[in-house]
Structure 1
Amino acid sequence: MLVSSLATGFTTGAGLIVCIGSQNAFVLRQGLLRSHTAMVATVCIVSDVFLIFCGLSGLGFIVKQWPGVIDVVRYAGAAFLAVNAYGAAKRAWQGSGVLDPSTTQGGSLKQLLLTCLGYTWLNPHVYLDTVVMLGSLSLHYDGDEKWHFGAGAMLASAVWFIAITYGARLLLPLFHNPNAWRILDGLIALMMAYLSVTLLVMPLAVIA
């Protein structure tokens, strides 16, 4: 049962984490720039591990009992995404020439840390996926099996963020073309703008 619950946790976690979103777009861009990649991957992984642990510990009831907490994160996240959508659109419009990862810093460590934390902790979906969804699914398991399930989900997060952070360099030959960066930033701007509007107009459903 160890392998079964671990594998189920891994596939479930991967299904929730592996998707097109603002956080993954940010991580991919930093991977392409080779800018503080270890820090970015670590923040994302540690945040997911902590939130999954909270879900398995039964703290999902906080989100269910006080949906206003999610609303606060929802509006803050919408504003955060709107600001970053503007920044990405500006980069796409102006262009930055050929960005050489060996010389491009991609921002200060403090700035990147705060941005990475913003993409992670101001995303209301992360709470619903990790704390509520995984926490609820873990109730199907007893004793150690519940934590094996959680360990599988945590492992999925680690594998995913390491893969897109360090695997992004495989795309570097494409991004020697400045137009590729402009297209990427344009797509990121559209995605973030769409997610920002979605958070504002569509209430988030909390699983009962």
Structure 2
Amino acid sequence: MFLASSFAHGFAVSIALIVAIGAQNMFVLRQALRGEHVGAIVLFCAAADAVLIGLGVAGLGTLLGQAPRLQVLLSLGGAAFLAWYGVGAFRRAAAPGALVAAGGGAALALGSALARAAGFTLLNPHVYLDTVLLVGSIGAAKPAAAQPVFVLGAAVASLGWFCLLGYGGRMLAPVFARPAAWRVLEAMVGGIMLLLAAGLLLRAAGLG
């Protein structure tokens, strides 16, 4: 019962944070709609979350909380990456003929898709502040025997969410059979990325 409650606690904390609309989720959804490398991206994102949560429980969260300068650097790097991708999304939305019904532009190679997934995961300060610092500190407060179970619960929540987003997102494919729908999606992606970048810049200014 004790270990089951630790698993449920890790699952609940993780799912509460990961479901929020963010850069990583938008990228996974976009790739799901395009039908490109969905399995590899889902596995990468879920595995990265599991590793980061484990590191947070092991003590990295405490270290990060004591390093405001590192948080500033992460925020600035993340803002630059999100702004670059956001501008690219707006360009795809605005360029005549850039979006096609089959998937919104040229296909990404597996390496490029995973590189972008890594960028949205590892260059996003929210991943460290939420996944490592917040989830990690909650898990670290549990007894040593319960910590691996807490991490497992959080990792299962992450895997389940990305599977739902990656494979469930395909159900929306008929809606995006028209180029106009892709233009709307790319404009939404661009707006969200730029808003997130602005938020990171404000965070960096507050930490500096």
TM-score, normalised with respect to structure 1: 0.92
1:98 partnered with 2:70: no
Inter-partner Cα distance in structure 2 for 1:84 and 1:165: 20
Q: Which residue does the alignment assign to 1:146? A: 147
Which residue of structure 1 lines up, in the alignment, with residue 13 of structure 2?
Answer: 12
Distance (Å, rounded) in 2 between the aligned partners of 1:204 and 1:42:
34
Please say which of residues 85-94 and 132-141 is displaced more in the overlay.
132-141
Superposition pairs of residues 97-116 of structure 1, within 5 angstroms: 97-101=99-103, 106-116=107-117
Contact 2:62 2:137 in 1 (8 A): no
CA distance in 2, matches of 1:204, 1:19: 24
Mapping of 1:39-50 within 5 angstroms? 39-50=40-51
User: Structure 2 vs 1, CA of residues 98 and 104 (structure 1 numbering), >3 Å: closer, same or farther?
Assistant: closer
- Report if the CA contact (8 A) 1:33-1:105 is conserved: no
Q: Give me the whole-angstrom Cα distance separating, in 1, the residues matched to 2:48 and 2:139.
A: 19
Aligned pair 1:162/2:183, yes or no? no
Output the CA distance in 2 between the equivalents of 1:7 and 1:105.
Answer: 42
- Code of the residue aligned with 1:16 in structure 2: it is L
**1:167 alignment partner AA:** G
Q: Which amino acid aligns with 1:49?
A: A
Query: How many Å separate the matches in 2 of 1:179 and 1:123?
Result: 30
Structure 1 residues 61-72: aligned runs within 5 Å: 61-72=62-73
Report matched runs for 1:166-177 at 5 Å.
166-177=167-178
SS of the equivalent of 1:35 reads coil
RMSD of the TM alignment (CA)? 1.9
Partner of 2:131: 130
TM-score, scaled to structure 2: 0.92
Q: Is the 8 A contact 1:35 1:105 kept in 2?
A: no
Once the two structures are TM-superposed, the CA of residue 105 in structure 1 deviates from its matched residue by 6.0
Q: Which 5+ residue runs of structure 2 have no aligned equivalent?
A: none
* CA offsets 1:73-103 (integer angstroms, 9 cap, x no match): 11111011111011100111125343225x9
Change (3 A) 1:204 1:11: farther
Query: Structure 1 97/194 Cα, relative in aligned 2: closer, same or farther at 3 Å?
Result: closer
| Change in CA separation of 1:158 and 1:53 when aligned onto 2, cut-off 3 Å | same
Distance in 2 separating the partners of 1:205 and 1:53: 28
Unpaired segments ≥5 residues, structure 1: none
